[in-house]
């Protein structure tokens, strides 16, 4: 009898886990222990499905590093018992969570697939069923008795993406996510087409779980009119260890002396500043234009083509490792799990 992969669904909250009360119209949490009753199509999948929920499912707007650790611990505790994991999550912060878990779960040899929906699972026009069914199917894919996908991914509206390459681009359309700087890993149509050449290739190392994250960081988006007082107040925030600076284009920022001087002073006293582009796609290339050359000269870290979401996760992850300041720049500018080119 052919082997049936064992898949664990981890429900954290979000629209995908809601049902609309037919009388009041109000949304209420869906009982995932009765999943097969509600979605009988899952019985057609060639796998065994188990479920586990957060004790109190949350709206993804309330996601934070403590809950990332909770997700990680569920996967760690069940890692040997299951062949793949599907994390059901609200879409608003899904890219942040998928990015975080890609760093927290090193040496993955099994798939961790994030998915969710724009409409509740009980809605007549819901996208939840397709997203859920295909995410489970992808998590079940095997070749030569091993999982095909061995990384943290995000599946939404017919496309599978590397999780730490995604960003949410639309609050209303079903195609809510994009991966601006890396191709889709798989596409679901009449057939499920996997682009194997883009998948991460893992070795035989044992799973390594990191649970220490340092959230003493901030994102600052450069805009015309950013003044000295505001910049200085951000740079001097108590306890601040890292700043993600969203700059123009390929990493450009104002070249006024006061602006560079404030950043230089902050870097000199140990603040770690990463330069990422505020464009939806593309890469930081400090020195390509004169307006970014000075940023490179004062020791700013290049985020390359990393997304802001992945930069947040990577900075928390690396700060949690207490890497010496003089080694942090090199560590950040090197890919850890396919998050940058």
Mean pLDDT by 10 residues, the chain (341 residues): 93 83 71 72 91 92 97 98 97 98 97 94 86 96 95 97 98 95 97 97 89 98 98 98 97 96 97 97 88 91 98 98 94 97 94
Establish whether domains 6-209 and 217-332 are of one fold: yes
Catalytic residue among 15, 72, 134, 307: 15
Is 15 a residue of the active site?
yes
The CATH class for the domain spanning 217-332 reads alpha beta
pLDDT of residue 36: 67
pLDDT of residue 306: 98
pTM score over 0.85: yes
Determine the Cα–Cα distance for residues 93 and 168; give it in Å rounded to an integer: 8
Sign of the C-alpha dihedral computed for residues 285, 286, 288 and 290 taken in this order = positive
CA-CA-CA-CA dihedral for 337, 159, 75, 58, to nearest 10? 110
Q: Give the count of beta carbons closer than 10 Å to the beta carbon of residue 216.
A: 13
Spell out the domain ranges in the chain.
Answer: 6-209, 217-332
6-209 CATH fold: Rossmann fold (3.40.50)
């Amino acid at each position: 009898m052919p082997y049936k992969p064992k898949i664990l669904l981890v429900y954290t909250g979000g629209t995908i886990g809601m049902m609309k009360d037919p009388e009041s119209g109000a949304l209420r949490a869906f009982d995932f222990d009765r999943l097969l009753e509600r979605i009988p199509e899952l019985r057609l999948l060639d796998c065994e499905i188990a479920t586990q929920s957060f004790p109190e499912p949350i709206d993804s707007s309330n996601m934070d590093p403590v809950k990332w650790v909770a997700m990680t611990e569920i996967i760690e505790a069940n890692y040997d018992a299951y062949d793949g994991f599907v994390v059901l999550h609200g879409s608003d912060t899904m890219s942040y969570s998928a990015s975080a878990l890609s760093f927290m779960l090193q040496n993955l040899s099994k798939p961790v697939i994030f998915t969710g929906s724009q409409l509740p699972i009980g809605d007549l026009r819901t996208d939840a069923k397709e997203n859920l069914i295909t995410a489970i199917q992808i998590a079940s894919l095997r070749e030569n008795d091993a999982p095909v996908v061995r990384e943290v991914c995000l599946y939404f509206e017919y496309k599978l993406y590397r999780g730490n390459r995604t960003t949410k681009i639309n609050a209303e359309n079903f195609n809510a996510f994009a991966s601006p700087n890396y191709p889709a890993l798989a596409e679901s149509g009449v057939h499920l087409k996997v682009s194997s050449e883009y998948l991460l290739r893992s070795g035989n190392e044992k799973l390594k779980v990191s649970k220490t994250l340092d959230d003493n960081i901030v994102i600052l988006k450069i805009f015309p009119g950013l003044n000295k007082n505001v910049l200085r107040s951000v740079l001097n925030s108590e306890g601040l260890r890292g700043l993600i600076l969203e700059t123009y284009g390929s990493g450009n920022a104002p070249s006024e002396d006061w602006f560079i001087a404030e950043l230089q002073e902050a870097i000199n006293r140990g603040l770690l500043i990463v330069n990422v582009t505020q464009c939806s796609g593309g890469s930081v290339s400090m020195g390509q234009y004169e307006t970014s050359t000075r940023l490179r000269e004062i020791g700013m870290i290049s985020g390359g083509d990393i997304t802001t979401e992945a930069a947040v996760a990577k900075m928390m992850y690396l700060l949690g490792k207490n890497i010496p300041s003089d080694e942090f720049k090199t560590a950040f500018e090197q890919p850890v799990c396919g998050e940058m080119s």
